[in-house]
Amino acid sequence: VKAIKVKAIRGEKGSMRYVSIDKIKVGSIIADDILNEGGSLLLKKESQFKEAYRKKLKELGITYVLIDDEISKGITPTRLLTPVQRQALEEDIKNEFETLINRMEVDYTSMRAITSVITEKIKSVEAFYEMVDLKLNDQDTYAHCISVAIMAGFACRRLYLNEEITEKVVMGALFHDIGKTIIPKDILNKPSQLTKEEFDIIKTHPELGYEMIKEYNEFPPLSKVIVLCHHEREDGSGYPLGKGAEVHLGVKIVAACDVFHALLSDRPYRQGLSIEEVIEIARKEKLNQEVVSAIEATLVKYPVGSIVELSNGEIGIVKENFYQDLERPEVRIIFSNGKYKMGHRVNLQEEKEIYIAKNLDYIPEVDE
């Protein structure tokens, strides 16, 4: 059996694949700029990965890196937002939050501009191709709100809500946790179990948020209701009002996206859960199950650039996703019959007897 020697090459422009920070090899070529929270450049694209970077990047909450190598040749992940766009969006929403906290005049034009960055992006891509766009390693309320807004937008489209309603839902999602910005950070980010009193304080955030926005007439009523009711549940067990299933569909969408994103994200006391695990939990929660299915249908488990093992034992890299069935992408084989072998493609849309057995985080190593 031959050893896998994947050459680190500077391939075609835009060729890249995901490698988890734990598995990336020293000498790998970074395929895209890596930015820190403040938007400044940490690692320039085309630079070589060094062992010393690993710990540093992990500390900064970076879990995946895009690399360029032989395997990624011709693979171009579809990305909703570039790191720079994501950064700009975060800055904008942070400014809006601060304006609201300080009770200054709200600039509705810029609020709408932020919303339309997301709604326009959603129109331009077919499905939710980018788990990395969700930013699963950030404790910041605004980063969470942006991710939930993106998910909510996709769910709206999947549920055939019109543009006008989608915009209001996305806007509500962008601000849904604004009340958390005035909850003490030591309670919000407490790594251990919360006491009953602490949890009661956290539970005030929907009402606090609603208080902050309710007097602004330009803010759509549906968006306001989303801020107030995003912790309500179908059976009336939620808070603050104990409303049940009668709330607007848009509220249910944001409530479910909030749960999905929270479970997918890393927390100080646990790693983020897999999509499969999250769906299993969401099925048992008192969320609207039609909405849960819609979200499930927009999450790409095997995005372009990820390594998967097929039911026939072959291993390959995902080349293309198909919106009609995200479970069955086209895969370019890199490992077959215990050997490293680049080449043939398996389109799971056509080869119905083969399916994806698991998502791999690595390329298997074999001895020479």
Interface residues toward Fe ion, by CB under 5 A: 177
Q: Which residue is nearest to Fe ion (CB)?
A: 177
The CB-of-327 to Fe ion minimum distance in angstroms stands at: 31
Nearer to Fe ion, 19 or 227 (CB): 227
The CB-of-141 to Fe ion minimum distance in angstroms stands at: 9
Beta bridge partners of 332: 317, 345
| CA pseudo-torsion sign 163, 180, 299, 291 | negative
Which alpha helices (H) appear in the chain, and where do they start and end? 51-59, 83-101, 108-124, 141-158, 163-175, 185-188, 196-202, 205-213, 221-229, 249-264, 275-284, 289-298
Nearer to Fe ion, 43 or 263 (CB): 263
Kindly list the distances between the CA atom of residue 358 and the CA atoms of 17, 137, 276, 302, 327, in Å, as whole numbers in the listed order. Answer: 17, 23, 11, 9, 11
Nearer to Fe ion, 32 or 177 (CB): 177
Catalytic residue among 121, 135, 168, 180: 180
Nearer to Fe ion, 96 or 177 (CB): 177
Contacts of 176 (CB under 8 A, 6+ apart): 145, 148, 209, 226, 227, 230, 254, 258
Contact 31, 45 (CB under 8 A): yes
The CB-of-45 to Fe ion minimum distance in angstroms stands at: 36
The CB-of-97 to Fe ion minimum distance in angstroms stands at: 14
Tokens of 32: 């895209």
The CB-of-197 to Fe ion minimum distance in angstroms stands at: 18
Tokens of 194: 């919360």
Nearer to Fe ion, 211 or 320 (CB): 211
Q: Is 23 a catalytic residue?
A: no
Distance (Å, whole) CA 356 – CA 313: 10
Tell me which residue of 143, 135, 86, 132 sits closest to 265, measured CA to CA. Answer: 135
Known catalytic residues are 180
